[in-house]
Amino acid sequence: MENSFKIDSTDRKILQLLMGNARTSYLEIARVCGMSGAAIHQRVNKLEQAGIIAGSGIKLSPASMGYTSCAYVGVFLEKAGMYHTVVAELENIPEIVECHYTTGNYAIFLKLYCKNNQGLMEILNGRIQKISGVSSTETFISLEQGIGRELLP
- For residue range 122-141, what is the model confidence (pLDDT) as tens digits? 999 999 999 999 999 999 99
- CA-nearest of 58, 108, 99, 119 to 81 is 108
Domains of the chain: 9-49 (1.10.10.10), 63-142 (3.30.70.920)
- For residue range 50-65, what is the model confidence (pLDDT) as tens digits? 999 998 888 889 999 9
Which band of pLDDT confidence, cut at 50, 70 and 90, is reported for residue 3?
A: low
User: In terms of pTM, does the model score above 0.95?
Assistant: no
pLDDT for 2 beyond 60: no
CB atoms near residue 40 (< 10 Å): 24
CB atoms near residue 19 (< 10 Å): 15
